[in-house]
Structure 1
Amino acid sequence: MLTRIRASELPVDQFHADLHRICGQFDLRAADARGRMRGGVHLEERAGIECAHVAADVQQVFRSSRQIRKDNGENYFLILQEEGRALMNQNDVACLLHPGDMVLIDSACPSEFTFFGHYTRQLSLHLPRAEMHARFGYDLIRGGISLPRHDPTNTALCAVLGKVFSAPDNAATQGYLREAMFGLIGAMLHERTGHEGFAGIDSDIGGARALAQGQAYIDAHYRNPDLTIADIAEDLGMSLRQLQRGFAAIGTTPTKYLLVRRIEHARRGLDDRRAGRRADLISSIAYEAGFSDLSYFQRCFRKAFGTSPKGYALGLTTEDTTEDEADFPVQ
C-alpha cells in the first residue's frame, strides 16, 4: 500500500463537501439511508503534484455535465485503486478496477465510479491540464485509458510513487521523481493510443484500428446472447489474433470487454429497479444485457462486485446474501 488514510464514520454531507473541496464538483449516492458512511478525503502535495487520498463505502461517485459547468476541470486524474473494487465509466469506456490497477480520468468529461457500497481506497494524482498538454499535446490524452496492475509501466509507476511517498522532502530528489512520473505517464499515453514510432507490438497503428473497431462492434452488439469473438473478427474482416492484439493494448481481451459491457448494462438495470424506475424480474434484466445463462450471470456478477445480483437489487451487503439463489428472479 502506498498510502495510509484514517477512515472513520462521518456524515455523508461532510465527505461530499471534502470531496468537492479537494477534487472538484462531484455528486454521490450513499449506500446507507442513515446519511452516515465510513471514509475520508485527505490532500497532500508530493513532488509538486496534488495527491488526493479518498476512502469511502458509498454506492457511486459521478461527475455529470452539470457538475463540469460549475468548475473548469483544470486537472486530469491518474487514479490508483489501492483497496476494494470499482467500475469506471468515461467516454463510453467501462473498466473494472482491482487493487493495483490505474486509470486516467479527464475532469472535463462526465465520469462515473460505482463501488457497490463496499469500502474502497483510491489515490488520485491531480495532473495539471496545461502541463499535460504542453508535455504531450492534445491528441494523445483522453479519459478512460486504463493501466492494469500487471503492465510493466504500471509496475514502474508504482515503484516511483513508492519513492515519492518515502523519499526525504528534498527539492532536487522530488524534482527527479516528478520527471520520472511524467516520463512513465507519457510512455503509457503513447502505448495506449497507438502512436507511430513507439516500439511495441501492441501500439502499432493496425492494433489501434483493431481495438477501435472491436470496441465499437461490441458496444453496438453486446446484448446479442449469441455473439462470439470469432463472429466479431469475421464480421470486421480481421483475424482473431489481430482482434486480440488490439485489446491487449488496453490490458484486456475481447471476451473480458464483452463481459464488462454486459455486466455494466445489467448493473444499470438493477439500479433502475432499486429506484423504482422499472419492475422487471432480475432474470429479465440479465437476458436484456445479453446473458443467456442465469447461473453464469450470477457467478460473474458476484465475482466482479462481491455480491449477488439479488443482493444488489435488494440493497443488501455481501454478508446478507447466500450462494443459493434458486429464487433468483425475485418479484
Structure 2
Amino acid sequence: MQSLMTPGHKPVQVEILEAEIRRVCGSFDLEPMRRTGVVNGDVTTRRVGPFDTAIVALDASEVARNTRSIRQDPGEHFFLLVQDAGQCRVEQGDQVAELLPGDMFLVDSVKPSSFLYRGERSNQVSLHIPRDEMVHRFGNACTGGLSISRDDPLWLAMRAVIAKMLMEEGAQAQLGEAFLCLMGAYLHSTRGMGTANPAETLLSRALAMIDRHRADPAFGPRELASRLNVPERTLQRHFRPLGETPGHRLLNRRLELAHARLSARNQVAEGVTAVAFDCGFNDLSYFYREFRKKYGTTPGAVARCH
C-alpha cells in the first residue's frame, strides 16, 4: 500500500507533542512508551479539499480521549483516520479495529476513544469533518465509531478521493462533496440509514448545488431556493442546524475557491482580480474585505506567498 504522505519523526518533548495534538485535534492525553520524556513524532496541518486535516506521526504507547476531556473540550468533528504507515489499535465503545496501512476508521469526538501504538512508529492522516453537518446529513448512523472495511469497493473509492485531494494543492470542494456522498453510501450499506427525511435530502441537495454553482456570480440564495422549488425562508430553516445561512455558506465556498486558486500558482495583481471574478465575485472591494476577514490577510499576500 503506497503511502499518502511522507512520515515525519523527530525527537520531541512529550509535553510539546501532546500540546500540539491538543491544539490541532482537541483534548487527548499522550502516554509515551519510555520514561525519557521524549518521543519521536510530529504534528502538521494542511487543508485537504474542504477539510482541515492533521498529519500525525509518533511512536508513543497510547493516545486517549476520556470523558473528562470530552467535558472540557466538547467534540465538534468526526475524525476520519487513515492509517498511512505502521499500525494502531483503535477502541471506541464496542468498536475495535487493528489498523494497518490503508485502513480507515471514523472516530466520533464526543465518545471516549483510545489509540494504542505499542511504541511502534505510526503515521496517520486525520480528516476533520464537521460533526453537525455529518449528523444532519446521515443521522446517528455515523456516530459512535466506525471501521471502514477495505473489502467494500467504496473503501477504494474513498481512498482514491482522499489521495486526489492530498495530491492537488487547493483541491476543489467538489471532491469533498464527492467524499461525503461516498461516506453516505457506505453508511447506508453497513448501518442501514433507511430513508432520509426530507430535511436531510433538501440540505444535501442544497450543499451540492452550492459547490457546483459557486463560481457563477448570478447564483445566490434566491436562485438556490428556486432551483430546489422551496421558499427562501424554508431553505434558511434547513440550514440552521449548521449554524449558518445559505448566503454565508455560498460566500465561504467562493472564498475557499479563491484562496485555493491563489495558493496553487503565482499570481500578479491583475491575476487577483481575475481570480475574484472567476470565483463568483463581481464587487472587488467586497471580495477584498471578506477575504481579509476570513483569512486575516489580503489576496495579494496569499498569491505572493505561494
Shorter-chain TM-score above 0.5: yes
Structure 1, unmatched stretches of 5+, are 199-331
What does residue 173 of structure 2 align with? 175
Cα drift, residue 148 of structure 1: 2.6
What does residue 84 of structure 2 align with? 82
Give the Cα–Cα distance (whole angstroms) in 2 for the partners of residues 72 and 197 of structure 1.
29
The alignment yields a C-alpha RMSD, in angstroms, of 1.6
Cα drift, residue 168 of structure 1: 4.6
- Among 108, 111, 116, the alignment partner of 2:110 is 108
- Among 14, 18, 41, the alignment partner of 2:20 is 18
Whether the 8 Å CA contact 1:50–1:126 is kept in 2: the answer is yes
Cα drift, residue 101 of structure 1: 0.6
Whether the 8 Å CA contact 2:95–2:147 is kept in 1: the answer is no
Structure 2, unmatched stretches of 5+, are 197-306
SS of 2:176's partner is helix
What does residue 148 of structure 1 align with? 149
What does residue 192 of structure 1 align with? 190
C-alpha distance 160-106 of structure 1, shift in aligned 2 (>3 A): same
What does residue 122 of structure 1 align with? 124
Within-5 A mapping of 1:1-331: 1-137=3-139, 139-169=140-170, 174-196=172-194
Letter in 1 for 2:48: R
What does residue 265 of structure 2 align with? none
Cα drift, residue 151 of structure 1: 2.5
SS of 1:140's partner is helix
Whether the 8 Å CA contact 1:81–1:98 is kept in 2: the answer is yes
Cα drift, residue 91 of structure 1: 1.4
Give the Cα–Cα distance (whole angstroms) in 1 for the partners of residues 169 and 50 of structure 2.
14
Cα drift, residue 9 of structure 1: 0.9
Letter in 1 for 2:94: D
| Overall identity of the aligned pairs, in % | 38
Give the Cα–Cα distance (whole angstroms) in 1 for the partners of residues 181 and 114 of structure 2.
27
TM-score after normalising by structure 2: 0.61
Give the Cα–Cα distance (whole angstroms) in 2 for the partners of residues 50 and 110 of structure 1.
22
Q: What do residues 113-133 of structure 1 show as CA deviations (whole Å, max 9, x unaligned)?
A: 111010001111101011112
Whether the 8 Å CA contact 1:81–1:121 is kept in 2: the answer is yes
Whether the 8 Å CA contact 1:80–1:102 is kept in 2: the answer is yes
Show structure 1 runs of 4+ deviating over 3 A: 195-198
Give the Cα–Cα distance (whole angstroms) in 1 for the partners of residues 106 and 32 of structure 2.
24
Letter in 2 for 1:175: A
Cα drift, residue 5 of structure 1: 4.3
